[in-house]
């Protein structure tokens, strides 16, 4: 298959940012052996090495050298991936105005940019990315706002059997419109996530993260749900079967309806673990992780007290009728915003937003092309 990049940023990007107007991209992922690689313009997977940080053509910023795997869309607007090439846990990084500043560790692994760190060299770079895997099963990929929003993108997957599907931000939603609407519509605490002019960061990357000003945001809701399920049972139907959960000794314990001897547990969570889908929501294996993903997603969507509606998107982020004075119940309103402004209302607004197929995942067994359209205003 091939990656094709389409520039629809228009002149407004240059006019509004005083940048050079160039769009840069780099494709990074693991090969079939698990080695970190970058894809060159000829479609070859080249192993990454710490020496790349100082190689000819490397970038310099803040007194350091950074590896340079980037091409401009003007130089290379499509890359053909050879048949049977596996790229696992891949990312397509896209930046506007300048390349990104990336680093390979001494273990020859890729250090991802972290805009929650004010010293990261990419905090003043306009960038975003999409995620993908190409393997024997085919192509699986998605746009994402799990960590941040940089600018509107759409991906279109075209298969050899003429199947087409797309995901991303709605075409009429310009970047300035999204920034304005976000500031006007989300609750005040979530407005702290705007890092204008560059991006809007995810809650766990900002003030809702561990140690942040809003790190206890979900605490009351967590306490209320733990008390509720001390009295009542939660029936959870997932692909692996039907499970019955109840809180016992402050631990949410689940058993399978037809084999109650095996227990799957979730310890009492912290608020930031809900947003990050980490900690108590990322332990164990298999069924335990599947249950944890469901509960974390229901917390983010404010639907935990109504598990029978867990796959009904029109019921997400709604006020609980039992709490008439609670106009904005605790929920991940950052994630809700991206669903409201995305194709088919599908978005990846938090790590477990794929629960009940609400994410932007596109997949096909015989992929031919992925068109990536980058927009601004």
Give per-residue pLDDT as tens, 135-148.
999 999 999 999 99
Burial of 8 (0-12, 13-18, 19+ CB in 10 A): middle
pLDDT of the residue at 324: 55
Task: List residues bridging with 166 in a β-sheet.
Answer: 156
| Confidence (pLDDT) at 254 | 96
Residue written as token pair 């959960």: 245
Structure tokens at 11: 């002149």
pLDDT at 325: 59
Residues 6+ apart with CB under 8 A from 154: 143, 166, 167, 168, 169, 171, 343, 372, 373, 375
> For position 12, what pLDDT does the model report?
76
pLDDT, tens digit, 9 for 90 and up, residues 63-98: 999 999 999 999 999 999 999 999 999 999 999 999
Query: 3-class secondary structure for the chain?
Result: CEEEEEEECCCHHHHHHCCCCCEEEEEEEECCCCCEEEECCCCCEEECCHHHHHCCCCEEECCEEEECCCEECCCCCEEECCCCCCEEEEEEEEEECCCCCEEECCCCCEECCCCCCCCCCCCCCEEEEEEEEEECCEEEEEECCCCEECCCEEEEEEECCCCEEEEEECCCCCHHHHHHHHHHHCCHHHHCCEECCCEEECHHHCCCCCCCCCCCCCHHHHHHHHHHHHHCCEEEEECCEEEEEEEECCEEEEEECCEEEEEEEECCCCHHHHHHCCHHHCCCCHHHHHHHHHHHHHHHCCCCCCHHHCCCHHHCCCCCCCCCCCCCCCCCHHHHHHHHCEHHHCCCCCCCCCCCCCCCCEEECCEEEEEEEEECC
Instruction: Report the pLDDT value the prediction gives residue 320, as an integer from 0 to 100.
Output: 64
**Considering all CA atoms of the chain, what is the largest pairwise distance in Å, rounded to the nearest integer?**
65
Query: From CA 336, how far away is CA 306, in angstroms rounded?
Result: 18
Task: Give, in words, the CATH class of 219-329.
Answer: alpha beta
Q: Strand pairing of 362-364 and 367-375?
A: unpaired
pTM: 0.95
Query: Which parts of the chain have pLDDT scores under 50?
Result: none
* The pLDDT of residue 321: 59
Find residue 374's DSSP bridge partners.
7, 153
Q: What angle do CA 171, 176, 178 make, to 5 degrees?
A: 60
Strands 2-8 and 23-30: unpaired
Task: In whole angstroms, give the CA distance from residue 307 to residue 311.
Answer: 8
CATH 2.60.110.10 fits 2-206+339-375, yes or no: yes
Q: What is the pLDDT of residue 259?
A: 85
How many Cα atoms sit within 13 Å of 362 on the Cβ side? 28
Q: What is the pLDDT of residue 219?
A: 97
**Domain positions in the chain:** 2-206+339-375, 219-329
What angle is formed at CA 6 by the lines to CA 135 and CA 180, rounded to 5 degrees?
105
Q: Look at residue 246 in the predicted model and tell me its pLDDT.
A: 97
Cα–Cα distance between 142 and 91 in angstroms, integer? 10
| Per-residue pLDDT at 11 | 72
Q: What confidence score (pLDDT) does residue 322 get?
A: 59
């Amino acid at each position: 298959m091939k990656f094709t990049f389409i520039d629809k940023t228009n002149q407004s990007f240059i006019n509004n940012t005083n940048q050079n107007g160039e769009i840069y991209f780099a494709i990074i992922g693991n090969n079939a052996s698990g080695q970190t690689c970058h894809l060159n313009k000829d479609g070859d997977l080249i192993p990454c090495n710490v020496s790349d940080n100082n190689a000819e053509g490397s970038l310099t910023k803040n007194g350091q050298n950074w590896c340079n795997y980037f091409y401009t869309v003007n130089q290379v607007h499509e890359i053909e991936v050879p048949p049977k090439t596996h790229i696992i846990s891949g990312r397509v990084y896209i930046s506007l105005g300048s390349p990104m500043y990336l680093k390979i560790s001494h273990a020859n692994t890729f250090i991802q940019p972290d805009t929650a760190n004010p010293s990261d060299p990419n905090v003043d770079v306009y960038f975003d990315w999409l995620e993908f895997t190409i393997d024997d099963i085919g192509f699986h990929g998605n746009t994402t706002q799990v960590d941040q929003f940089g600018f509107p993108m759409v991906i279109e997957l075209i298969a050899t059997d003429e199947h087409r599907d797309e995901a991303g931000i709605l075409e009429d939603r310009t970047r300035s419109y999204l920034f304005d609407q976000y500031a006007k519509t989300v609750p005040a605490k979530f407005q702290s996530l705007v890092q204008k002019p560059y991006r809007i960061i995810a809650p766990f990357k900002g003030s809702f993260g561990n140690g942040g000003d809003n790190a206890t945001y979900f605490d009351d809701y967590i306490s209320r749900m733990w008390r509720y399920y001390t009295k009542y049972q939660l029936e959870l139907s997932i692909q692996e079967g039907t499970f019955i959960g109840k809180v016992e000794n402050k631990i949410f314990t689940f058993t399978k309806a037809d084999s109650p001897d095996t227990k799957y547990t979730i310890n009492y969570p912290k608020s930031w673990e809900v947003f990050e889908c980490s900690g108590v929501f990322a332990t164990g294996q298999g069924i335990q992780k599947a249950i944890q993903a469901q509960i974390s997603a229901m917390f983010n969507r404010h639907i935990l007290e109504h598990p029978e509606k867990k796959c009904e998107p029109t019921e997400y982020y709604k006020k609980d009728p039992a709490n008439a004075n609670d106009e904005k119940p605790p929920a991940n309103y950052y994630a809700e915003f991206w669903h409201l402004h995305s194709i088919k209302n599908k978005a990846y607004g938090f790590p477990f937003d794929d629960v009940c197929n609400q994410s932007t995942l596109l997949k096909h067994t015989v992929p031919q092309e992925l068109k990536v359209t980058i927009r601004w205003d």
